[in-house]
Structure 1
């Protein structure tokens, strides 16, 4: 049963967000066309870094470093394991992938293959031009729509060690919907797990959903994904309640 703001599924009543232009391809094509033009006019203007004011990229990178330190991921090729492969969903200008190639405090970069996908062709054009200007190797950008294209792409191979989502699920949750049709967030959950190697990770960052809500959408009981870890952000207290404005979760695809 669907109402304007709730969706009941398997005894869980999920909050729904009102549709917005942020959930349309037209909005993002227009936004990245503008950013592409700005970049052509000034190569130092690489466009918007989403959640930059919240320090999201730093938190994500720190969480990934912790996974490597714990032995779950590999930053470099070793005698026994290959460097971890990353997929960035809704890559935009590719900034998060470029950050993986930048030296950290230990002068060590993520050396595995990086793939960024977006359903906006102008986003992909922008990311490719920035990559060429930066001379970043081992990274590719492709136009691809997770919700619409069901055939496995060649670059999927046997799956990724990490699938990154910084705001893409947020945008998907703002898509318009027709009563009786499967919700876009459910389609996302069912398809994103197949991109992750069994035993490996989806890193998802959201400003629209709480930790509990993300787990209800993406890691329900009996599903393929399960909670693994959470990045730390500053918290605030208001009205006796403690919270934060952004959340980054690491979900693990269960081993079969």
Structure 2
């Protein structure tokens, strides 16, 4: 995922159907952040935009915050040792929040620390999912109207992404074709999802915008790969 995003930030390697991303200003939201390793790695690669990691597990969020504090102290010490290096830009703090993507209020992720209730929601430039949809798909939980929670997941993700923004998902359980069926054309006005209905316009949806190639294998004359990563753009 990180290498893919770095290519999107390079005009010479960015696909023609994607806009070149700015490492300085692109905002990043990590769904199911765990210990925050994805966002910390992106910071190391020079991504400086606002960044938020969310997870339904309070223990994971607490751990991520502890790692964040340790890294901040480490960076401060490094800055003291490299006072003559004017090329290093400051690394804005990565924030973390406890949030259930299936039931949580969008206020937590679209307004964050903004206390102005009249302020417009701020969807993200890039939303990342590395295994969260897989976990949701394994749940037998259903919505009030009888749908599996994984059926609602694409509708819940859609309002998080700004129009023209990207949703990047990695799965070990679903093929590229299956992920495309799940997310391409998804709308945020589905049944049983009032919160998403209020934030997404009826005509909005995801379209395929890229993929990551992994090492393939062949079995029984069929070629495949154990991991699938697709990029979708919100239109």
**Bucket of the pairwise TM-score, normalised by the shorter protein:** 0.7 to 0.9
Q: Match of 1:92?
A: 34
- Any idea what SS the aligned residue of 1:93 has? coil
Question: Does residue 1:126 correspond to 2:63, yes or no?
Answer: yes
Counterpart check, 1:145 vs 2:100: yes
Query: In terms of mean alpha carbon deviation, does 141-150 or 123-132 score higher?
Result: 141-150
- 1:191 offset after TM fit, Å? 1.2
Pairs aligned (count): 184
- List structure 1 runs of 4+ shifted beyond 6 angstroms: none
Distance 1:240 1:182 in 2: 36
The residue that corresponds to 2:223 in the other structure is 242
Distance, in Å, in 2 between the alignment partners of 1:110 and 1:178 is 37
1:217 and 1:128 map into 2 onto residues whose CA distance is 32
Q: Does 1:183 align with 2:148?
A: yes
> How far apart, CA to CA, are the structure 1 residues paired with 2:147 and 2:105?
15
Distance 2:206 2:60 in 1: 29
Which of 111, 125, 132 in structure 2 is aligned with 1:168?
132
Tell me, in whole angstroms, the C-alpha distance in 2 between the residues paired with 1:209 and 1:150. Answer: 27
Instruction: Determine the structure 2 residue equivalent to 1:74.
Output: 22
CA-to-aligned-CA distance 1:162-218 (integer Å, 9 cap, x gap): 000000000000111359612211211111010000011000000000001111111
Q: Does 2:188 correspond to 1:207?
A: no
Match of 2:47 among 110, 117, 125: 110
Distance 2:106 2:129 in 1: 20
Normalised by the length of structure 1, the TM-score is 0.68
Q: Which runs of 5+ in 2 are unaligned?
A: 73-90, 115-120, 188-203
Task: Name the CA distance, whole Å, in 2 between partners of 1:142 and 1:216.
Answer: 30
Asked if 1:195 is matched to 2:136, the reply is no
Q: What do residues 2-59 of structure 1 show as CA deviations (whole Å, max 9, x unaligned)?
A: xxxxxxxxxxxxxxxxxxxxxxxxxxxxxxxxxxxxxxxxxxxxxxxxxxxxxxxxxx
Q: TM-score under structure 2 normalisation?
A: 0.74
Map of 2:76 onto structure 1: none
Structure-2 change in CA distance of 1:239 and 1:184 (3 Å): same
Q: Is the 8 A contact 1:68 1:75 kept in 2?
A: yes
SS in 1 for 2:9: helix
